Structure 1
Amino acid sequence: MEAKGQETFDAFVVLDLDRRLDRPDEEIEAAWQKLSRESHPDAEGGDAEKSADANRARSILLSPAGRLRHWLTLHGVEVPRQNAIDSDLMTRFTEVGAALANADDVLKRRAAANSALGRALLAEPAFAAQQSIQQLLGQLQRERLAVTGQFSTFDAAAHKGEFAAAIAALHRLGFLEKWESQCRERLLAFLTES
Protein backbone atom coordinates (compact mmCIF):
# COMPACT_ATOMS: atom_id res chain seq x y z
CA MET A 1 0.00 0.00 0.00
CA GLU A 2 1.30 3.44 -0.94
CA ALA A 3 1.90 6.04 1.76
CA LYS A 4 -0.60 8.88 1.90
CA GLY A 5 0.36 11.60 -0.54
CA GLN A 6 2.73 9.29 -2.42
CA GLU A 7 1.94 8.57 -6.06
CA THR A 8 1.25 5.03 -7.18
CA PHE A 9 4.04 3.54 -9.29
CA ASP A 10 2.83 3.23 -12.89
CA ALA A 11 5.09 1.02 -15.00
CA PHE A 12 3.28 2.06 -18.16
CA VAL A 13 3.97 5.76 -17.52
CA VAL A 14 7.59 5.08 -16.57
CA LEU A 15 8.21 3.40 -19.95
CA ASP A 16 6.05 5.95 -21.79
CA LEU A 17 3.53 3.31 -22.88
CA ASP A 18 -0.24 3.63 -22.93
CA ARG A 19 -2.00 1.59 -20.25
CA ARG A 20 -2.83 -1.43 -22.38
CA LEU A 21 -2.37 -5.12 -21.60
CA ASP A 22 -2.20 -6.36 -25.15
CA ARG A 23 1.29 -5.53 -26.31
CA PRO A 24 4.26 -7.56 -27.53
CA ASP A 25 7.25 -8.04 -25.24
CA GLU A 26 9.43 -6.44 -27.94
CA GLU A 27 7.55 -3.15 -27.47
CA ILE A 28 8.23 -3.24 -23.73
CA GLU A 29 11.89 -4.10 -24.32
CA ALA A 30 12.29 -1.27 -26.84
CA ALA A 31 10.75 1.27 -24.44
CA TRP A 32 12.95 0.00 -21.60
CA GLN A 33 16.12 0.12 -23.73
CA LYS A 34 15.39 3.68 -24.81
CA LEU A 35 14.83 4.84 -21.24
CA SER A 36 17.82 2.84 -19.97
CA ARG A 37 20.15 4.52 -22.46
CA GLU A 38 18.89 7.93 -21.39
CA SER A 39 18.88 7.34 -17.64
CA HIS A 40 21.74 4.91 -16.99
CA PRO A 41 23.71 6.24 -13.99
CA ASP A 42 27.01 5.99 -15.90
CA ALA A 43 25.69 8.00 -18.84
CA GLU A 44 25.98 11.77 -19.00
CA GLY A 45 22.93 13.21 -17.27
CA GLY A 46 22.01 9.73 -16.03
CA ASP A 47 19.61 9.28 -13.15
CA ALA A 48 19.98 6.25 -10.86
CA GLU A 49 16.41 6.49 -9.56
CA LYS A 50 14.95 6.77 -13.05
CA SER A 51 17.08 3.81 -14.15
CA ALA A 52 15.85 1.73 -11.19
CA ASP A 53 12.25 2.68 -12.00
CA ALA A 54 12.82 1.63 -15.62
CA ASN A 55 14.13 -1.76 -14.49
CA ARG A 56 11.21 -2.22 -12.12
CA ALA A 57 8.71 -1.26 -14.83
CA ARG A 58 10.30 -3.69 -17.29
CA SER A 59 10.16 -6.51 -14.75
CA ILE A 60 6.47 -5.89 -14.03
CA LEU A 61 5.38 -5.55 -17.65
CA LEU A 62 7.35 -8.48 -19.09
CA SER A 63 5.54 -10.90 -16.79
CA PRO A 64 2.00 -11.39 -18.12
CA ALA A 65 0.73 -12.02 -14.58
CA GLY A 66 2.69 -9.04 -13.27
CA ARG A 67 1.37 -6.83 -16.05
CA LEU A 68 -2.21 -7.94 -15.45
CA ARG A 69 -1.97 -7.49 -11.66
CA HIS A 70 -0.41 -4.03 -12.11
CA TRP A 71 -3.04 -3.05 -14.70
CA LEU A 72 -5.86 -4.14 -12.38
CA THR A 73 -4.31 -2.22 -9.48
CA LEU A 74 -4.00 0.91 -11.61
CA HIS A 75 -7.69 0.55 -12.47
CA GLY A 76 -8.47 0.53 -8.75
CA VAL A 77 -9.50 -3.13 -8.74
CA GLU A 78 -8.80 -4.98 -5.52
CA VAL A 79 -7.44 -8.38 -6.42
CA PRO A 80 -8.45 -11.12 -3.99
CA ARG A 81 -5.54 -13.06 -2.51
CA GLN A 82 -7.25 -16.44 -2.59
CA ASN A 83 -9.59 -17.77 -5.23
CA ALA A 84 -11.13 -21.19 -5.49
CA ILE A 85 -9.16 -23.39 -7.85
CA ASP A 86 -11.28 -24.67 -10.72
CA SER A 87 -11.22 -28.37 -11.58
CA ASP A 88 -9.15 -27.83 -14.75
CA LEU A 89 -6.47 -25.98 -12.80
CA MET A 90 -6.56 -28.60 -10.04
CA THR A 91 -6.02 -31.34 -12.63
CA ARG A 92 -3.08 -29.42 -14.07
CA PHE A 93 -1.75 -28.88 -10.53
CA THR A 94 -1.73 -32.66 -10.01
CA GLU A 95 -0.01 -33.29 -13.37
CA VAL A 96 2.65 -30.68 -12.75
CA GLY A 97 3.29 -31.92 -9.23
CA ALA A 98 3.74 -35.51 -10.41
CA ALA A 99 6.07 -34.56 -13.28
CA LEU A 100 8.21 -32.33 -11.07
CA ALA A 101 8.39 -34.96 -8.31
CA ASN A 102 9.48 -37.58 -10.85
CA ALA A 103 12.13 -35.25 -12.26
CA ASP A 104 13.39 -34.45 -8.75
CA ASP A 105 13.59 -38.15 -7.94
CA VAL A 106 15.60 -38.93 -11.08
CA LEU A 107 17.90 -35.94 -10.49
CA LYS A 108 18.47 -37.02 -6.88
CA ARG A 109 19.25 -40.61 -7.89
CA ARG A 110 21.55 -39.39 -10.65
CA ALA A 111 23.43 -37.12 -8.24
CA ALA A 112 23.83 -40.03 -5.83
CA ALA A 113 25.08 -42.45 -8.50
CA ASN A 114 28.67 -43.37 -7.64
CA SER A 115 29.69 -45.10 -10.83
CA ALA A 116 29.48 -44.76 -14.58
CA LEU A 117 27.26 -47.85 -14.62
CA GLY A 118 24.91 -46.29 -12.06
CA ARG A 119 24.63 -43.12 -14.12
CA ALA A 120 24.17 -45.13 -17.32
CA LEU A 121 21.29 -47.05 -15.76
CA LEU A 122 19.58 -43.72 -15.06
CA ALA A 123 19.97 -42.42 -18.63
CA GLU A 124 16.61 -43.79 -19.77
CA PRO A 125 14.60 -42.55 -16.75
CA ALA A 126 16.36 -39.17 -17.05
CA PHE A 127 15.47 -38.93 -20.73
CA ALA A 128 11.85 -39.89 -19.99
CA ALA A 129 11.62 -37.32 -17.19
CA GLN A 130 13.13 -34.61 -19.41
CA GLN A 131 10.71 -35.46 -22.20
CA SER A 132 7.78 -35.35 -19.79
CA ILE A 133 8.86 -31.95 -18.46
CA GLN A 134 9.38 -30.58 -21.99
CA GLN A 135 5.91 -31.72 -23.06
CA LEU A 136 4.40 -30.24 -19.93
CA LEU A 137 6.25 -26.97 -20.47
CA GLY A 138 4.85 -26.78 -24.00
CA GLN A 139 1.31 -27.33 -22.70
CA LEU A 140 1.76 -24.68 -20.02
CA GLN A 141 3.10 -22.18 -22.55
CA ARG A 142 0.11 -22.80 -24.85
CA GLU A 143 -2.26 -22.30 -21.92
CA ARG A 144 -0.49 -19.05 -20.98
CA LEU A 145 -0.72 -17.82 -24.57
CA ALA A 146 -4.44 -18.64 -24.60
CA VAL A 147 -4.91 -16.46 -21.52
CA THR A 148 -2.74 -13.59 -22.78
CA GLY A 149 -4.62 -13.83 -26.07
CA GLN A 150 -7.59 -12.46 -24.13
CA PHE A 151 -5.74 -9.31 -23.05
CA SER A 152 -7.36 -7.17 -25.77
CA THR A 153 -10.77 -8.37 -24.53
CA PHE A 154 -9.82 -7.34 -20.99
CA ASP A 155 -8.71 -3.92 -22.27
CA ALA A 156 -12.08 -3.46 -23.98
CA ALA A 157 -14.03 -4.69 -20.93
CA ALA A 158 -12.18 -2.22 -18.70
CA HIS A 159 -13.82 0.64 -20.60
CA LYS A 160 -17.15 -0.73 -19.33
CA GLY A 161 -15.81 -1.24 -15.80
CA GLU A 162 -15.85 -5.03 -16.15
CA PHE A 163 -12.89 -6.81 -14.58
CA ALA A 164 -14.17 -10.26 -13.45
CA ALA A 165 -12.64 -12.15 -16.40
CA ALA A 166 -9.31 -10.37 -15.94
CA ILE A 167 -9.24 -11.26 -12.23
CA ALA A 168 -9.94 -14.92 -13.02
CA ALA A 169 -7.21 -14.89 -15.67
CA LEU A 170 -4.72 -13.38 -13.21
CA HIS A 171 -5.19 -16.30 -10.85
CA ARG A 172 -4.60 -18.79 -13.68
CA LEU A 173 -1.59 -16.87 -15.06
CA GLY A 174 0.07 -16.84 -11.67
CA PHE A 175 0.04 -20.63 -11.53
CA LEU A 176 1.05 -21.06 -15.16
CA GLU A 177 4.06 -18.75 -14.84
CA LYS A 178 5.17 -20.44 -11.62
CA TRP A 179 4.89 -23.90 -13.17
CA GLU A 180 6.70 -22.83 -16.33
CA SER A 181 9.55 -21.53 -14.20
CA GLN A 182 9.72 -24.77 -12.22
CA CYS A 183 9.79 -26.82 -15.43
CA ARG A 184 12.62 -24.69 -16.83
CA GLU A 185 14.57 -25.13 -13.58
CA ARG A 186 14.28 -28.92 -13.83
CA LEU A 187 15.32 -28.93 -17.49
CA LEU A 188 18.34 -26.81 -16.63
CA ALA A 189 19.19 -29.19 -13.79
CA PHE A 190 19.15 -32.12 -16.23
CA LEU A 191 21.51 -30.24 -18.53
CA THR A 192 23.94 -29.07 -15.85
CA GLU A 193 24.10 -32.10 -13.56
CA SER A 194 26.08 -35.03 -14.82
Structure 2
Amino acid sequence: MSNAFSLLGLPRIAALDDDALQQAWLAASRSAHPDQPGGDAIRAAEINTAYETLQAPEKRLKHLLELHSVPWRTVPINEAMMSLFSKLGPALQSTTAFLKRKQNATAALAKALLAQEEMRLREQLEDLGATLDAERTTLLASLPAYDARLSAGDMTALADLQILQAHLAYFGKWQAQVREALLGLM
Protein backbone atom coordinates (compact mmCIF):
# COMPACT_ATOMS: atom_id res chain seq x y z
CA MET A 1 0.00 0.00 0.00
CA SER A 2 1.38 3.40 -0.93
CA ASN A 3 1.35 6.24 1.56
CA ALA A 4 -0.93 8.98 0.18
CA PHE A 5 0.38 11.45 2.75
CA SER A 6 4.02 11.08 1.75
CA LEU A 7 3.12 10.97 -1.95
CA LEU A 8 1.72 14.49 -1.58
CA GLY A 9 4.34 15.60 0.95
CA LEU A 10 1.82 16.04 3.74
CA PRO A 11 2.02 15.13 7.42
CA ARG A 12 0.36 11.88 8.46
CA ILE A 13 -2.50 13.45 10.41
CA ALA A 14 -6.28 13.12 10.54
CA ALA A 15 -7.07 16.84 10.36
CA LEU A 16 -5.72 18.01 7.03
CA ASP A 17 -6.38 21.55 5.89
CA ASP A 18 -8.35 21.45 2.62
CA ASP A 19 -6.35 24.30 1.08
CA ALA A 20 -3.00 22.72 2.01
CA LEU A 21 -4.20 19.41 0.57
CA GLN A 22 -5.23 21.02 -2.70
CA GLN A 23 -1.99 23.00 -2.98
CA ALA A 24 0.08 19.85 -2.36
CA TRP A 25 -1.96 17.96 -4.97
CA LEU A 26 -1.58 20.76 -7.55
CA ALA A 27 2.18 20.97 -7.02
CA ALA A 28 2.63 17.20 -7.24
CA SER A 29 0.31 16.97 -10.26
CA ARG A 30 2.19 19.64 -12.17
CA SER A 31 5.51 17.87 -11.84
CA ALA A 32 4.12 14.39 -12.60
CA HIS A 33 1.75 15.34 -15.42
CA PRO A 34 2.58 13.29 -18.55
CA ASP A 35 2.65 16.44 -20.71
CA GLN A 36 5.45 17.93 -18.61
CA PRO A 37 9.12 17.10 -19.21
CA GLY A 38 9.92 14.14 -16.99
CA GLY A 39 6.22 13.58 -16.31
CA ASP A 40 4.91 10.09 -15.73
CA ALA A 41 1.32 8.95 -16.34
CA ILE A 42 1.51 6.23 -13.68
CA ARG A 43 2.83 8.64 -11.06
CA ALA A 44 0.17 11.20 -12.04
CA ALA A 45 -2.52 8.56 -11.53
CA GLU A 46 -1.05 7.66 -8.12
CA ILE A 47 -1.07 11.33 -7.13
CA ASN A 48 -4.71 11.71 -8.17
CA THR A 49 -5.64 8.58 -6.22
CA ALA A 50 -3.79 9.92 -3.18
CA TYR A 51 -5.70 13.19 -3.44
CA GLU A 52 -9.05 11.39 -3.68
CA THR A 53 -8.12 9.28 -0.64
CA LEU A 54 -7.12 12.25 1.50
CA GLN A 55 -9.89 14.56 0.35
CA ALA A 56 -12.74 12.57 1.93
CA PRO A 57 -12.28 12.46 5.72
CA GLU A 58 -13.64 8.92 6.09
CA LYS A 59 -11.25 7.65 3.40
CA ARG A 60 -8.38 9.62 4.93
CA LEU A 61 -9.00 8.09 8.35
CA LYS A 62 -9.30 4.61 6.88
CA HIS A 63 -5.96 5.12 5.10
CA LEU A 64 -4.35 6.50 8.26
CA LEU A 65 -5.55 3.46 10.23
CA GLU A 66 -4.17 1.15 7.52
CA LEU A 67 -0.80 2.91 7.72
CA HIS A 68 -0.82 2.28 11.48
CA SER A 69 -1.69 -1.39 10.79
CA VAL A 70 -4.94 -1.18 12.73
CA PRO A 71 -6.95 -4.29 11.83
CA TRP A 72 -10.42 -3.72 10.45
CA ARG A 73 -13.31 -4.44 12.80
CA THR A 74 -17.02 -3.88 12.86
CA VAL A 75 -18.04 -0.77 14.75
CA PRO A 76 -21.54 -0.82 16.24
CA ILE A 77 -23.78 2.21 15.91
CA ASN A 78 -24.13 4.09 19.17
CA GLU A 79 -27.49 5.11 20.66
CA ALA A 80 -27.49 8.65 19.26
CA MET A 81 -26.78 7.42 15.75
CA MET A 82 -29.38 4.67 16.06
CA SER A 83 -31.93 7.29 17.09
CA LEU A 84 -31.08 9.33 14.02
CA PHE A 85 -31.24 6.26 11.81
CA SER A 86 -34.65 5.37 13.25
CA LYS A 87 -35.90 8.68 11.85
CA LEU A 88 -33.99 8.45 8.59
CA GLY A 89 -35.05 4.92 7.60
CA PRO A 90 -38.81 5.55 7.71
CA ALA A 91 -38.40 8.94 5.98
CA LEU A 92 -36.53 7.32 3.09
CA GLN A 93 -39.09 4.50 2.88
CA SER A 94 -41.96 6.99 2.87
CA THR A 95 -40.26 8.97 0.13
CA THR A 96 -39.77 5.87 -2.01
CA ALA A 97 -43.44 4.88 -1.59
CA PHE A 98 -44.55 8.45 -2.32
CA LEU A 99 -42.47 8.64 -5.50
CA LYS A 100 -44.14 5.46 -6.77
CA ARG A 101 -47.58 6.93 -6.08
CA LYS A 102 -46.57 10.21 -7.75
CA GLN A 103 -45.30 8.36 -10.81
CA ASN A 104 -48.60 6.48 -11.11
CA ALA A 105 -50.68 9.63 -10.71
CA THR A 106 -51.70 10.73 -14.19
CA ALA A 107 -54.55 13.16 -13.58
CA ALA A 108 -53.84 16.74 -12.54
CA LEU A 109 -56.16 16.38 -9.54
CA ALA A 110 -54.31 13.27 -8.32
CA LYS A 111 -50.99 15.09 -8.62
CA ALA A 112 -52.35 18.15 -6.80
CA LEU A 113 -53.56 15.97 -3.93
CA LEU A 114 -50.02 14.66 -3.51
CA ALA A 115 -48.46 18.15 -3.28
CA GLN A 116 -48.99 18.56 0.46
CA GLU A 117 -47.41 15.17 1.24
CA GLU A 118 -44.50 15.99 -1.06
CA MET A 119 -43.87 19.25 0.80
CA ARG A 120 -44.01 17.45 4.17
CA LEU A 121 -41.53 14.82 2.96
CA ARG A 122 -39.21 17.48 1.53
CA GLU A 123 -39.21 19.40 4.83
CA GLN A 124 -38.59 16.20 6.80
CA LEU A 125 -35.67 15.24 4.57
CA GLU A 126 -34.20 18.74 4.67
CA ASP A 127 -34.36 18.72 8.48
CA LEU A 128 -32.69 15.30 8.59
CA GLY A 129 -30.05 16.51 6.13
CA ALA A 130 -29.32 19.54 8.31
CA THR A 131 -29.00 17.29 11.37
CA LEU A 132 -26.62 14.97 9.51
CA ASP A 133 -24.53 17.94 8.35
CA ALA A 134 -24.31 19.30 11.90
CA GLU A 135 -23.33 15.92 13.36
CA ARG A 136 -20.70 15.39 10.66
CA THR A 137 -19.28 18.88 11.26
CA THR A 138 -19.02 18.12 14.97
CA LEU A 139 -17.15 14.89 14.26
CA LEU A 140 -14.77 16.63 11.86
CA ALA A 141 -14.06 19.32 14.44
CA SER A 142 -12.74 16.62 16.78
CA LEU A 143 -9.97 15.52 14.38
CA PRO A 144 -7.26 17.87 15.73
CA ALA A 145 -7.75 16.41 19.22
CA TYR A 146 -7.06 12.92 17.84
CA ASP A 147 -3.93 14.20 16.14
CA ALA A 148 -2.77 15.71 19.43
CA ARG A 149 -3.36 12.41 21.22
CA LEU A 150 -1.44 10.49 18.56
CA SER A 151 1.48 12.91 18.58
CA ALA A 152 1.61 12.56 22.38
CA GLY A 153 2.00 8.80 21.92
CA ASP A 154 -1.55 7.83 22.96
CA MET A 155 -2.11 4.77 20.78
CA THR A 156 -5.63 4.29 22.20
CA ALA A 157 -6.52 7.19 19.91
CA LEU A 158 -6.30 4.76 16.99
CA ALA A 159 -9.21 2.68 18.32
CA ASP A 160 -11.21 5.87 18.84
CA LEU A 161 -10.28 7.03 15.32
CA GLN A 162 -11.60 3.73 13.98
CA ILE A 163 -14.97 4.43 15.59
CA LEU A 164 -14.93 7.99 14.27
CA GLN A 165 -14.09 6.76 10.76
CA ALA A 166 -17.03 4.35 10.83
CA HIS A 167 -19.38 7.08 12.03
CA LEU A 168 -18.20 9.44 9.29
CA ALA A 169 -18.77 6.68 6.74
CA TYR A 170 -22.33 6.18 8.03
CA PHE A 171 -23.02 9.90 7.89
CA GLY A 172 -21.62 10.14 4.38
CA LYS A 173 -23.85 7.31 3.19
CA TRP A 174 -26.91 8.74 4.91
CA GLN A 175 -26.26 12.21 3.50
CA ALA A 176 -26.04 10.75 -0.01
CA GLN A 177 -29.34 8.92 0.54
CA VAL A 178 -31.05 12.12 1.71
CA ARG A 179 -29.68 14.07 -1.29
CA GLU A 180 -30.90 11.34 -3.66
CA ALA A 181 -34.37 11.33 -2.07
CA LEU A 182 -34.58 15.12 -2.30
CA LEU A 183 -33.58 15.00 -5.96
CA GLY A 184 -36.34 12.47 -6.54
CA LEU A 185 -38.83 14.95 -5.11
CA MET A 186 -37.77 17.68 -7.53
TM-score of the superposition, structure 2-length normalised?
A: 0.88
The equivalent of 1:150 in structure 2 is 142
Q: Which has the higher contact order (CA 8 A, sep 6+)?
A: 2
**1:139 counterpart SS class:** helix
**2:185 counterpart SS class:** helix
Q: Which runs of 5+ in 1 are unaligned?
A: 1-7
TM-score of the superposition, structure 1-length normalised?
A: 0.85
Aligned partner (choices 10, 18, 31) of residue 24 of structure 2: 31
The equivalent of 2:113 in structure 1 is 121
CA RMSD of aligned residues (A): 1.8
Deviation digits for residues 7-63 of structure 1 (CA, Å, limit 9, x no counterpart): x21111122211111123233223223333333334554322122112211221121
Deviation at 1:106, TM superposition (A): 1.9
In the alignment, the residues of structure 1 paired with residue 150 and residue 33 of structure 2 have an alpha-carbon distance, to the nearest angstrom, of 35
1:86 pairs with 2:83: no
Deviation digits for residues 110-153 of structure 1 (CA, Å, limit 9, x no counterpart): 22221332222222211211111111111111111111111111
Aligned partner (choices 160, 165, 170) of residue 160 of structure 2: 165
Give the aligned residue type for 2:68: H
Higher-helix-fraction structure: 2
- Closer, same or farther: CA 108–36 of 1 in aligned 2, 3 Å: farther
Identity %: 33
- Closer, same or farther: CA 119–58 of 1 in aligned 2, 3 Å: farther
Aligned partner (choices 79, 85, 88) of residue 96 of structure 1: 88
Question: How many residues are treated as equivalent by the alignment?
Answer: 183
In the alignment, the residues of structure 2 paired with residue 112 and residue 101 of structure 1 have an alpha-carbon distance, to the nearest angstrom, of 17
**2:14 counterpart SS class:** coil
> Which runs of structure 1 show a deviation greater than 6 angstroms over 4 or more consecutive aligned residues?
none
Q: Which runs of 5+ in 2 are unaligned?
A: none
